[in-house]
Structure 1
Amino acid sequence: MEPFLSLNHISKTFHATRALDDIALAFMPGEVHCLAGQNGCGKSTLIKIISGVYRPDEGAEIRLGGRQYSRLSPAQSVASGIQVIYQDLSLFANLSVWENIAINHYHHGLLVNKKRLRQVAERAMASIHVSLPLEARVGELSIARCQLVAICRALAQDARLIIMDEPTASLTHQEVEGLLHIVRQLREKGICVVFVSHRLEEVMAVSDRISVLKDGQLVGTWPAAEITTRRLGFLMTGREFDYQVRELWQSRQSTPVLEVRKLSRAGEYQEVSLRVEAGEVVSIVGLLGAGRTELCLSLFGMTRPDSGEILINGQPVALRSNRDAIRHGVGYVSEDRMSRGLIMTQSIENNIISTVFGKVTGPGGLISRARSGELVARLVTALSIKTGDVQLPVNTLSGGNAQRVSIARWLAITPKLLILDSPTVGVDIANKAGIYHIISELASHGIAVLMICDEIDEAWYQSHRILVMQQGRITHSFLPDTSTREQIAEVVSG
């Protein structure tokens, strides 16, 4: 069988940086082909060359649809059946489902034929056996349903190769299973799916072949059946990752850092009680919509509970704002670091000191560059943030390093309690390991850690205790050393 798309001698240089170095790959019809590698390995650059956004260096050979090119334009890429579904999905939140799916068919004729466009959307949905409310605004849909809208939009464009960039990053376990089922359906229709994900278990579950990129070079391509998750991690990083369950937590004091008593907020969570001691890591797992983030926002003073108590070091506190929470030693690393966690266009230094301006100001209330520089340098070193200049904006960093900056800005307040909301979302395997090490270090220094986890494995390996939240309530508690991941997953999925 002939490849749908062949790439040879694909290189790309940005100034003095060689982002891709002589890549050769082939993508077959009706296969799921995973691109694996750490952040910065060249995956995004390669995708942009395939989609026509970037021009490769001289000598590139791209064979597509029986023709050979030295580069593709975006129009040539789309006309040949290549569609990219980026992590942000690029949908129009204010338009309906059918309008989003059929958006590229509006140019036919002077007048909009709504009946015909709805039929385009219906055919695309029927081709993968999904049902979506055609008149619903996309902004009102769940992330999982938005994924389906994006896939149907690609199918409406007669896609023959669909690139999915981190499609499961914001999905629950059940939603991931649903998406992987759709991916298999696309494969059965003869469509090539290029799957990009940091979640290696999903890669192994759905891929036919896996290509590994490292430092801009192709390490190799293997049939998925001939490689293990552990081997794949090593090929991507050159390191072995062997996590161990934490030792059984031994209570060290009678007064916890955080105690929550029957906390409720209408429509979000009910009668929640929990406690976290100094040096303890407690994770909350559950399906999307279980109320985990909503609970944490109240613990950080962003929303107010209707009833119940929050105690810090045994003392009842009223957290009317995040300033109150910070004053009581509570830090919160948001899941959405791009809009809530960090100011992406501001410098690394400014982001880190944004929580502690009082600590770094000198006479006259002006920021002391000496104090600021000393604090930032200490945290950059402690968290192994890879940057050549702390004056660079955060949006120049990889996802893993940006997340470390997000953690650093809260360590600057010397917290008693650190709340981590899905801290490894969109982070590659090596940076995940780095963040896990940071969490362990924080706990070893007596900081209480409350963590929301979307992956059962993450909670099982990284926590002393695991709480399951369902429909706004804490329903189960597990100790990793006396339970299995399968038991926890069964409870979470109901």
Structure 2
Amino acid sequence: MSEYLIELKNISKRFGGVRALDGVSLAIRPGEIHCLAGENGSGKSTIIKVMSGIYTPDEGEIWIDGAPVGSYDPIRAVHSGVQVIYQDFSLFGNLTVAENLAINSFLLEDRKRMDWARARQMAKDVLARLGVKIDIDAEVESLPASGKQLVAIARALLAEARLIIMDEPTTALTGKEVDALFGIVRDLKAQGIATLFVSHKMREMLEISERLTVFRNGRKVAEGPMSEFDEPAIIRAMTGLELEETPYRPDIDMTAVPALEVEGLSVSGLVNNVSLTVRPGEIVGITGPIGSGRTELARALFGMETAAARKFRIFGKDAFPRSVQEAIELGIAYVPEDRLTEGLFLSQSIERNMVVSILDWLRKGLFLDRKAMRSRTEEMFGAMQIAAPSPETPVGFLSGGNAQRVMLGRWLLTGAKILILNGPTVGVDIGSKAKIHQIIRGLAEKEGLAVLMISDDVPELTGNCNRVHVMHEGRMVATFSGDDMTDDNINDSLKALR
């Protein structure tokens, strides 16, 4: 019996003139919890598609259970026990949990009709094996992200998975849900099922994984037991650089007129009596479990939610934005958490994505001032340090970090004085994350921008914010500043809410 469930030996893959993988090897043992790390473009997605049979390598071999395989395609991968759970979970939202779980098995059996009794029993059995309770008659689209993920895992088990590959599995999960997922992964390990985590989240890598493999520029640059790594070592391997950030602690004039001052803001059933102050040059953080009301608060401040408040002042003047247009006119900008569906036009160029917020200012009669449009775009293109051939590059071709910088640039073109960032580095790799932090700090310190940063990444908040508020059930329940603003204190506060 082989030591390894699957081995990829000296795998290379090219796309045109680009070498996505350059002689990489990766081996996973039965029941192993393995983490694959690397920046965007490092080759992680390509190796996953090789493992799942979607891509055929140009060079190298794939071995299953100690023997080389010749033809290897998605069907062979599934029969070998390899299952991939992507970030979108690839489920049918309009079908029930039971239907989603049974459909693959029934298709393989070439069934013409649905066996409802058997489908329900299959669903009950596999969910019991996971030790979770989900309404098997609920439509999948009605489930939270954690529920959809459990359905995807259960579907993999029904396909007799021996290796489950999870791509950024905790992006949309609360802390409690992450703990539950890790418990399930450990249970899978006890059943001899291996898990390959693909993640950007350092703390989670260190907590759950037994072994780590790091890719950089299509090559494997580090591998070994997780006990041999710490956070700085992983960052060095991923980027080739020392990227330890010193905390942002500028001197803020606390007597200055606040850029944003809100008292008693409420959104029916979602936000309750919240008060908040952000001064020029200050970065104020908000965290809390998903569903705490933090996103609804951000949307209310940007005129996207119907809200009420005892006081709402912008630079000392009473002003309550009742629409997005009013918020923009008041100097407020909002970068949403889901930039792909709420913020960007992926098929359009960087230039068009940036200037869409200032079209009225660029209008010359019936036409746009093309010269001014290109001038403003190129200026922001450089300021945001966007890595792309030109402003004509479609945004859909950019990495997560560069796409996020396009969003920042768009709103800064409006002349905003108050910037609301919801999940500013979600899905962004380590190097881009540091650059985004650097840009935000520079805007606050040098331009006097007032920043409200909403994140579930506690180290991101403690490293960049002057104060951090914790929200729960629509209310501010704790505030940390000065020496009290530590990862441990904020995490303890969050754990108490679970």
Match runs of 1:242-257 below 5 Å = 242-247=244-249, 250-257=252-259
Tell me the residue number matched to 2:178: 176
- Please say if 1:319 is aligned against 2:350: no
Match runs of 1:344-493 below 5 Å = 344-361=346-363, 363-444=364-445, 445-493=447-495
Aligned-partner SS, 2:134: coil
Contact persistence 1:265–1:307 (CA under 8 A): no
Tell me the residue number matched to 1:32: 33
Q: What amino acid sits opposite 2:418 in the alignment?
A: L
Match runs of 1:71-470 below 5 Å = 72-107=72-107, 108=109, 109-247=111-249, 250-361=252-363, 363-444=364-445, 445-470=447-472
Tell me the residue number matched to 1:8: 9
Contact persistence 2:248–2:441 (CA under 8 A): no
Aligned-partner SS, 1:60: strand
Contact persistence 1:33–1:193 (CA under 8 A): yes
Aligned-partner SS, 1:356: helix
Contact persistence 1:32–1:208 (CA under 8 A): yes
Q: Give the TM-score normalised by the residue count of structure 2.
A: 0.96
Rounded Cα–Cα distance in structure 1 between residues aligned with 2:99 and 2:419: 43
- Please say if 1:43 is aligned against 2:54: no
Large movers: runs of 4+ above 4 Å: none
Q: Name the Cα RMSD after superposition.
A: 1.5
Contact persistence 2:332–2:416 (CA under 8 A): yes
Contact persistence 1:186–1:192 (CA under 8 A): yes
Aligned-partner SS, 1:406: helix
* Sequence identity (%): 42
Q: Give the stretch that moved more between structures: 377-386 or 114-123.
A: 114-123
Cα displacement string for residues 162-190 of structure 1 (whole angstroms, at most 9, x for unaligned residues): 10000011112222121111111111111
Q: What amino acid sits opposite 2:124 in the alignment?
A: E
Rounded Cα–Cα distance in structure 2 between residues aligned with 1:480 and 1:37: 33
Contact persistence 2:263–2:309 (CA under 8 A): no
Rounded Cα–Cα distance in structure 2 between residues aligned with 1:170 and 1:56: 32
Rounded Cα–Cα distance in structure 2 between residues aligned with 1:147 and 1:212: 25
Rounded Cα–Cα distance in structure 2 between residues aligned with 1:65 and 1:119: 32
Rounded Cα–Cα distance in structure 2 between residues aligned with 1:392 and 1:457: 33
Contact persistence 1:246–1:464 (CA under 8 A): yes
Q: Give the unaligned 5+ runs of structure 2.
A: none
Tell me the residue number matched to 1:64: 64
Q: What amino acid sits opposite 2:485 in the alignment?
A: S
Q: Give the unaligned 5+ runs of structure 1.
A: none
Q: What amino acid sits opposite 1:462 in the alignment?
A: N
Aligned-partner SS, 1:490: helix
Q: CA deviation at 1:248?
A: 6.7
Q: Give the stretch that moved more between structures: 282-291 or 95-104.
A: 95-104
Q: CA deviation at 1:482?
A: 3.1
Q: What amino acid sits opposite 1:221 in the alignment?
A: E
Q: What amino acid sits opposite 1:457 in the alignment?
A: P
